[in-house]
Amino acid sequence: MTHAKKSLLMLSLLGSGLFTGCNTTSLQQSSNLSSSTVSKYSLDFNPQNYSVQSVEVDGKKIAVRAYENIVYVANPVDTDYQIMNIYIPEDYFHDKSIGAYNAATAPIFFPNQVGGYMPGKPATLNGRGGMGGGMPPMSSRDNTAGQTNTQTNRSGSQTNSVATALSRGYIVASAGARGRTTQNAQGIYTGKAPAAIVDLKAAVSYLHFNDARMPGDANKIISNGTSAGGALSALLGATGDHPEYRPYLTALGAAPASNAIFAVSAYCPISNLDHADSAYEWQFKGINTYKNIKMSMLDYNVQRQTSDGTLTSDQIQYSQLLAQTFPAYLNGLKLHDTHQQLLQLDTQGEGSFKNYVKQFVINSAQKALAQGTDLSVFSWLTVKDGKVVDLDFDQYLHYLGRMKTPGAFDGRDLSTGENQLFGTEKIDKQHFTDFAQTHNNAANATQADAQIVKLMNPNPYIGLAQSNTASHWRIRHGSKDSDTSLAIPVILATLLENKGYDVDFALAWDKPHSGDYDLTELFSWMDQISQQTSKK
């Protein structure tokens, strides 16, 4: 639908009273209903089903219509999580503009709150939501992600990404999703892979299906997520409309509309899980001490346990075996840099790809230096005449530090959150790589179906004829992030660039595993791509 036609339709709806300015709230769909009591939900957006809320940014209060707890599929499995919150600036119901946007042209910001592949509830205006309704986005073993997902604005108050988006004229639609621990009343697991990405795709389809019924441009949906949520954001962008997800969407009664998005923002994406173990050991092989932070949930409260340790001789041997498999995988990708130089590794893990990764760290340090950061404390950096000219990569990796034991993601003893992600309805944890299954030391271990594993990796889908891959990508990974190998986001960004997509990739200087720490820069990028007269 063109912007002009959509504007006329919304004006018509305003005239008919469907878009009213009243402050009364109709009864909203309860997030506590179960699919056993209500078997089918309407997929039509109800413009009257809202409450009036407000958010303050830079000392300015913004009135918002809050459409909360919308069940976004006709046949939900879990209405605690398969719900979406949509927030629309009140100005758009009075034919007003906010900056460059109006009711017809406003992009839709689509942040998810998933961390560690746990179930995630939708974001709210006041920051509620997250994993289990109260957990910030983080990986399955880290306690730092999500701790910097607000930033201080000029008035001194804390502003999250939802408030920032609304203040800049964006519609915000945040969907919940099932996760690796989700179970129904009968004890059946309902959130194992690929449930989380299927849920988010269904929510995107709901937005496309209702594009004419609500303000905002569903052709400009921009996803955002951190850690596992960053991986899901990347999956949304890579796999738009791919038919391999269709049977899952059909089973849920997803809206018969596209699930493609316009752009991706991904912070420290925990992706490419089937190659993440070998990438991790390629990076950290030889670093035999670790600081492991394990997470668990108790009554929706985060429980963290830190343990320092030293790898056993068996773990050191396993690290070496895993590291040896990475060069062949990397070389098979046939990636190249902007000068068309092939990015490769020899059997010892050395080569142009390692230098390529190293350069991103140097670039990150150079940007920090230009912004006035004192880099003299980092002995592994070489700075001459105001320019970072080199770094000792091995010393840098010791500074970065190992967090995880090998295998970092597919644990030989089935101990990781990712093992739990790839379980089944009746099996809680499984291996998902041939390597871990071969070297398994857990009793009665089974292995996930290869097709399910593929559905959770964005890389194989990028640029396929059957994939409506997002045009624009912004990927950030902290230079102090040891939750996954630097190779993982570098491979994702380079693969996208090699296939012709618009990519803004950088390592954020000295940032740990976290996200939403640069909202000003993020939304400037979003404005730039959204306001272009043409797109890829």
Q: What is the distance between the alpha carbons of residues 465 and 315, in angstroms, rounded to a whole number? A: 42
Instruction: Return the bridge partners of 297, or none.
Output: 302
Give ∠ CA 62-223-174 in degrees, rounded to 5: 50
Secondary structure, 3-state, 350-400 = CCHHHHHHHHHHHHHHHHHHHCCCCCCCCCCEEEECCEEEEECHHHHHHHH
Q: Which two tokens stand for residue 423?
A: 């379980």
Could you tell me the end-to-end alpha-carbon distance of the chain, in angstroms, rounded to an integer?
A: 19
Query: How high is the pLDDT of residue 134?
Result: 34
Residues whose CB falls within 8 Å of the CB of residue 377, separated by 6 or more in sequence, listed in order:
none
- The Cα 113–Cα 85 span in angstroms is 12
Give the Cα separation of 494 and 269 in Å (integer): 14
Residue at 325: amino acid letter: T
- pLDDT attached to residue 131: 43
Question: What pTM was computed for the model?
Answer: 0.89
Angle between helices 228-238 and 195-209 (to 10 degrees): 50
- Cα–Cα distance, 126 to 124 (Å, whole number): 5
For residues 343 and 335, what is the distance between their CA atoms, to the nearest angstrom?
A: 6
Pick among 3.40.50.1820, 3.30.413.10, 3.40.50.2300, 3.30.420.40: CATH of 3-270+463-530: 3.40.50.1820
Question: pLDDT by residue for the chain (536 residues), tens digit each?
Answer: 555 445 544 544 443 333 333 332 222 323 333 333 345 899 999 999 999 999 999 999 999 999 999 999 999 999 999 999 999 999 999 999 999 999 999 999 999 999 999 999 999 997 754 443 333 434 333 333 333 344 433 333 345 999 999 999 999 999 999 999 999 999 999 999 999 999 999 999 999 999 999 999 999 999 999 999 999 999 999 999 999 999 999 999 999 999 999 999 999 999 999 999 999 999 999 999 999 876 665 544 545 577 899 999 999 999 999 999 999 999 999 999 999 999 999 999 999 999 999 999 999 999 999 999 999 999 999 999 999 999 999 999 999 999 999 999 999 999 999 999 999 999 999 999 999 999 999 999 999 999 999 999 999 999 999 999 999 999 999 999 999 999 999 999 999 999 999 999 999 999 999 999 999 999 999 999 999 843 33
Q: Is 299 exposed, middle or buried (0-12, 13-18, 19+ CB in 10 A)?
A: exposed
* Cα angle: 275, vertex 195, 127; to 5 degrees: 95
In the chain, where the domains are located: 3-270+463-530, 274-408
**Which regions of 42-156 does DSSP assign to beta strands (E)?**
51-57, 60-71, 83-89, 108-111, 120-121, 130-131, 150-152
Residue 235's Cβ-side half-sphere holds a number of Cα atoms within 13 Å equal to: 31
If we measure between CA atoms, which residue out of 164, 167, 125, 114 comes closest to residue 519?
164
The per-residue pLDDT for 485 is: 98
Enumerate residues 6+ apart whose C-beta is below 8 A from 339.
none
Strands 120-121 and 108-111 come out as: unpaired
DSSP code string of 416-465: SHHHHHT--SS-S--B-SHHHHHT--STT--B--HHHHHHT-SGGGTT-T
183 bridge partner residues = 189
Taking each helix axis from N to C end, the angle separating 393-400 and 352-370, rounded to the nearest 10 degrees, works out to 70
Q: Please choose, from the candidates 400, 337, 326, the residue with its C-alpha nearest in 3D space to the C-alpha of residue 364.
A: 400
The whole-angstrom separation of Cα 256 and Cα 483 is 38
Contact 64, 166 (CB under 8 A): yes
- Between helix 273-284 and helix 313-333 the angle, nearest 10°, is 120
Task: Write out the two tokens for 302.
Answer: 């985060």
**Alpha-carbon span 487 to 485, nearest angstrom:** 5
pLDDT on residue 532:
86
